[in-house]
Amino acid sequence: MYLREARKLASDRLREAGIDRPWFEADLLICSIIGMERTLLLAHPERPFPEHLIPELKAAIERRAAREPLQYITGVCEFMGRAFRVGPGCLVPRPETELLVAESRKYFKGGLFLDWGTGSGCIATSILLDNPGSRCVAVDKNPVALTWAWRNLREKDLLGRCLLCHCSSLERIPVPSPGFEMIVSNPPYIPSAQIPELMPEVERYEPRSALDGGEDGFDHYRSIVGWAPSALVPGGVLILEAGSCFEEVSVLIQ
Ligand code: GLN
C-alpha cells in the first residue's frame, strides 16, 4: 500500500463515520503512526506505507470511526504551543483554556499556586514554565487523570516544582501557610442533563468527572468561590474558566 492509498482508505472510512474533516484527520492518524510530518506525507504520496504498521492504522481508523477523540488515539494534544500527552481518563485540553493561562500572566507574579482539577496538567505545566521560580499544588479527584499530569510534568522536568495530589474535596487540599498566591481552575461546568446531548467524542469518551457541573453546572463554582478566600494569601487571585452560562470568562476575587 502507498501513502496515497492509506490516505484514501482512512479518509473514506472516516467520512462514512460522519467525521467532519476526514482527509485532515486521516493524515494526522497516518502521520502519528509512521512518525512523519504532514507536509512530507502530502509531498510524497508515492512512498510506501510500512507494511507492518497496517494493522495499527486500521485499528486507529476504527477507533476514530467509533468517535473516540483523535487526541486519545494519537496520544498528544497541543496546548500553548507545547505538546501534551493525553489519553482516556483526562480531559483533552481545549484551545479556550489557553485564555486562562494568558489571564494568569496579568496577575501572577510568582510563588505558589493551586491548579484545581488539573487533568492532563496542561494549565499547571504552562504556568510553571511561564514562571521559573514558581511552585504548584495540582489536584484532581480522578487518579487516572493524575497519571497523565505526572507524565506531562515529568517530560517537562517539572516534578520537582509540583505536588500532585489526589483529592476530591477542597477541604482536604494541603494549604500551606500563609496560602496560595493564586488559584486557577477549569472546573467541570456542564449541567448534568446536557451531558447526553454533547458530541459523541465528549459524551462517550471523556471522563464524566471532568465535565459534570451538577444540576445547573455551578456546583464547583459555588464550592471554590466559597473556599478560596480561606486558602489565598491576602490579595491572592482566583481565576476560573467558565462556560457560556457566565458573561465573564474569568471570575476574579482579589
Ligand atoms: N485542567 C484540565 C484542563 O483544563 C482539566 C479540566 C477538567 O478536568 N475539568 O484541560
Ligand 1 close to Cβ of residue 207 (< 6 A):
no
| Higher local confidence (pLDDT), 243 or 44 | 44
Domain boundary among 35, 66, 97: 66
CATH of the domain at 138: 3.40.50.150
Ligand 1, atom 2: nearest CA belongs to which residue?
119
**114 and 200 co-located in one domain:** yes
Residue 176 lies in a domain: yes
What is the average pLDDT value for the chain, to the nearest integer?
A: 95
**49 and 109 co-located in one domain:** no
Residue 41 lies in a domain: yes
Lookup: cell for 7: 490516505
Lookup: cell for 105: 500572566
- The region of weakest confidence among 57-66, 171-180, 244-253 is 244-253
16 Cα–ligand 1 center, Å = 31
> Structural domain tally of the chain?
2
Residue 76 lies in a domain: no
211 Cα–ligand 1 center, Å = 9
Q: Which of 108, 231, 116, 253 is closest to 178 using CA atoms? A: 231
**101 and 144 co-located in one domain:** yes
19 Cα–ligand 1 center, Å = 24
Q: pLDDT, tens digit, for every residue of 101-115?
A: 999 999 999 999 999
pLDDT at 123 over 50: yes
Full residue range of the structural domain in which residue 141 is found: 88-253
Using only C-alpha atoms, the chain has a radius of gyration, in whole angstroms, of 20
Ligand 1 close to Cβ of residue 123 (< 6 A):
yes
Ligand 1 atom closest to the Cα of residue 142 is 8
Q: pLDDT, tens digit, for every residue of 217-232?
A: 999 999 999 999 999 9
pLDDT at 198 over 50: yes
Ligand 1 close to Cβ of residue 210 (< 6 A):
yes
Annotate 23-51 with DSSP letters as a single string. Answer: HHHHHHHHHHHHT--HHHHHH-TTSBPPG
Residue 11 lies in a domain: yes
Ligand 1 close to Cβ of residue 179 (< 6 A):
no
186 Cα–ligand 1 center, Å = 5
**60 and 93 co-located in one domain:** no
Ligand 1 atom closest to the Cα of residue 90 is 8
Residue 81 lies in a domain: no
pLDDT at 165 over 90: yes
**10 and 121 co-located in one domain:** no
**182 and 247 co-located in one domain:** yes
**24 and 145 co-located in one domain:** no
Residue 243 pLDDT? 82
